[in-house]
Amino acid sequence: MFAGFDYGTSHCAIGVWADKTNAVEIVTLEGDKPLVPSTLHAPKVALKLPRAANRQLLTDAEEFTELRFGEAALAEYLADPTQGYFVKSPKSFLGVAGLSEDIRERFVTVIAAMMANVKRRTDAQMNASVDAVVIGRPVNFQGLGGKNANEQSLMMLEESAQLAGFKQVAFQYEPMAAALEYEARLTSEQQILVVDIGGGTTDCSFVRVGATRRESLDRQADVLGHSGERRGGNDYDQALALYAVMREFGYGDLLKSGLPVPNSYFVDAVSTNDVNAQQRFYSKATRERLEFFAREAIPVDRARRLLEVCEQRATYRVLRGVELAKIALSDAELAHIDFSDIEQGFSVATTGEQLLVSFERLLEHLKSLVDEAIASAGLAPERVYLTGGMAKSRVVREFLVATYPGVSFIDSDHFLSVTEGLTLWSQRLFR
Ligand SMILES: Nc1ncnc2c1ncn2[C@@H]1O[C@H](COP(=O)(O)OP(=O)(O)OP(=O)(O)O)[C@@H](O)[C@H]1O
Ligand SMILES: [Mg+2]
């Protein structure tokens, strides 16, 4: 059996090709949902997972069955952030420069475990072993290493997929995959600009699609231009957090001495997809500074909340609250974030206006990225195909519509179009 696997920063989804119906079948991964959040929780910080002689993870070993994934992992972590080991969005760490051998090994194990969980559910649902898989890849992975970031990321993903038990592994660009799903519905030839704004990355690709292209195995020539950057939904969350939420945690406050509480502590706190920033925030040195601010800031109660975030190891929880507010503000003018676990009765109200202002800089980046893809293809876009969760945001969509008048916008299944395309590709590649 063949599968298309969207190993996303925020969510994973997988599809298999069903010969019976001659169509993509999306696998149910958690509860009755096709998407499982890219999270893992282990009861112990040391992550030792037994492997078979061929290095494949043994998914019936106790150490594996103790792991939690997706919403279940998040729930386990939120119940007590000081216990066990929790990871979210390991994809965003893949391209980090200067990874030590230990850390590299740990990430590969984490990703392999997540993939093995997905494979196990897929095999059970299909009543067969899925051995060949096409995994989606962004044009550029997050990380500071440029070309090296991409090579390193692909090697780690491939190794993880093998440890998870996939025997044949291929990659396809995520935006091309999204376009393949659209192509399957086309009778004419079109040049479309795919804009995929996910959790960790934004990819723009100009692609040629059409009924006549469909059977071709080499689609390189149909990628007419592209651009990509390591900014996505997480960055929008952070922007909203700094603009509208961190104020209530003492951002911008002064100390009795008249000096400001340095911004860097707040930036580190909200940078939940930056390992170094999180290490800094939870370090002993930071803790001491935060204790000092909690005595010396005016007013002290706001500064105390930041110390509480540090003591409770609650940065993910804070950012998750902000993310939910961001999503709610897509349809509402006001969203409250409940922080009563940080301080009794404490909540922060966020508004559509704050969302607009906090997104401004990111939307300018988005415009330059879209323009770069247009310039690299040397074509004027007639159609923009929107996909990825962040492109569901009303603010983002309205910005693009206003910035590119005369262009028609095609909406997809923002969360599954990449998976569908990857599965279509797996069928062509492996059949
Ligand atoms: N209705 C919505 N409005 C705004 N943002 C949303 C909405 N729904 C989801 N998101 C955001 O979309 C992002 C996740 O998108 P998606 O699931 O496409 O990412 P991904 O494929 O896992 O990541 P990547 O493609 O970068 O690897 C998150 O930042 C989430 O907050
Ligand atoms: Mg994606």
In a domain, 362, yes or no: no
The CA 306 to ligand 2 mean position distance, Å, reads 32
| Together in a domain, 29 and 107 | yes
| Together in a domain, 145 and 260 | no
What is the residue with the minimal CA distance to atom 19 of ligand 1?
Answer: 198
Pocket test for ligand 1, best of 5, 6, 7, 9 (most atoms within 8 A of CB): 9
| Together in a domain, 347 and 425 | no
Helix (H, G, I), strand (E, B), or coil: what is residue 191? strand
Q: Of 69, 76, 63, 157, which is closest to residue 120 (Cα–Cα)? A: 69
AA letter at 334? L
In a domain, 340, yes or no: yes
Q: What is the mean pLDDT of the chain?
A: 93
- The mean pLDDT values, 10 residues at a time, for the chain of 431 residues are 95 94 95 96 93 95 97 89 89 87 94 98 96 91 75 96 97 91 88 93 91 80 86 96 98 96 98 86 96 96 97 94 96 96 97 97 97 94 94 95 96 94 94 85
User: How far is residue 93 from each of residues 9, 49, 199, 273, 345, measured CA to CA in Å?
Assistant: 10, 20, 13, 7, 35
- Looking at residue 317, its pLDDT comes to 93
pLDDT, tens digit, for every residue of 257-284?
999 999 999 999 999 887 789 889 999 9
AA letter at 217? L
Pocket test for ligand 1, best of 205, 390, 397 (most atoms within 8 A of CB): 390
Tell the residue number behind the tokens 């999306």, with chain if given: 26
Among the three residues 341, 356, 371, which one is the final residue of a domain in this structure? 356
Helix (H, G, I), strand (E, B), or coil: what is residue 431? coil
Asked whether the bond before 299 is cis by omega within 30 degrees of 0, the reply is yes
The CA 138 to ligand 1 mean position distance, Å, reads 14
Closest ligand 1 atom, CA of 92?
A: 27
In a domain, 202, yes or no: no
Name the token pair of 239.
Answer: 């922007």
| Dihedral sign of CA atoms 389, 394, 396, 401 in order | positive
Pocket test for ligand 1, best of 5, 6, 10, 94 (most atoms within 8 A of CB): 10
| Together in a domain, 319 and 419 | no
| Together in a domain, 161 and 302 | no
Domain count, the chain: 2
Q: Are 89 and 110 in contact (CB under 8 A)?
A: no
What is the residue with the minimal CA distance to atom 24 of ligand 1?
Answer: 198
In a domain, 405, yes or no: no
Helix (H, G, I), strand (E, B), or coil: what is residue 115? helix
Query: Where are any strands of DSSP class E within 214-325?
Result: 223-229, 254-255, 297-298
Q: Beta 254-255 vs 223-229: how paired, if at all? A: unpaired
Interatomic CA distance for residues 69 and 356, integer angstroms: 33
- Looking at residue 139, its pLDDT comes to 77
Looking up residue 154, the CATH number of its domain turns out to be: 3.30.420.40
The CA 267 to ligand 2 mean position distance, Å, reads 25
Closest ligand 1 atom, CA of 387?
A: 18
The CA 388 to ligand 2 mean position distance, Å, reads 6
The CA 180 to ligand 2 mean position distance, Å, reads 14
Tell the residue number behind the tokens 């396809």, with chain if given: 172
In a domain, 299, yes or no: yes
| Together in a domain, 320 and 424 | no
- Looking at residue 378, its pLDDT comes to 95
In a domain, 390, yes or no: no
Closest ligand to 12 CA? Answer: 1
- Looking at residue 145, its pLDDT comes to 62
Closest ligand to 388 CA? Answer: 1
Interatomic CA distance for residues 367 and 259, integer angstroms: 37
| Together in a domain, 74 and 158 | yes
Among the three residues 307, 341, 356, which one is the final residue of a domain in this structure? 356
| Together in a domain, 70 and 136 | yes
The CA 2 to ligand 2 mean position distance, Å, reads 20
| Together in a domain, 164 and 275 | no
Interatomic CA distance for residues 216 and 200, integer angstroms: 30
**pTM of the entire predicted model:** 0.89
Q: Of 6, 17, 126, which is closest to residue 416 (Cα–Cα)? A: 6
- Residues recorded for the chain: 431
- Looking at residue 185, its pLDDT comes to 85
| Together in a domain, 21 and 109 | yes
The CA 112 to ligand 2 mean position distance, Å, reads 18
| Together in a domain, 147 and 18 | yes
**Which residues surround ligand 1 with Cβ inside 6 Å?**
8-11, 91, 198-201, 232-234, 323, 326-327, 330, 388-390, 392-393, 415
Instruction: Give Cα 156 distance to the centre of its chain.
Output: 17
Interatomic CA distance for residues 70 and 114, integer angstroms: 9
The CA 234 to ligand 2 mean position distance, Å, reads 12
| Together in a domain, 51 and 181 | yes
Ion ligand 2: protein residues whose beta carbon lies under 5 Å = 8, 198
Among the three residues 356, 372, 397, which one is the final residue of a domain in this structure? 356
In a domain, 43, yes or no: yes
In a domain, 376, yes or no: no
DSSP 244: I
The CA 137 to ligand 2 mean position distance, Å, reads 9
Closest ligand 1 atom, CA of 236?
A: 29
- Looking at residue 144, its pLDDT comes to 67
pLDDT, tens digit, for every residue of 360-389?
999 999 999 999 999 999 998 899 999 999
**CA angle at residue 412 from 215 to 36, to 5 degrees?**
100
What is the residue with the minimal CA distance to atom 25 of ligand 1?
Answer: 198
Residues 6+ apart with CB under 8 A from 247: 302
Domain hosting residue 78, numbered range: 2-185+414-430
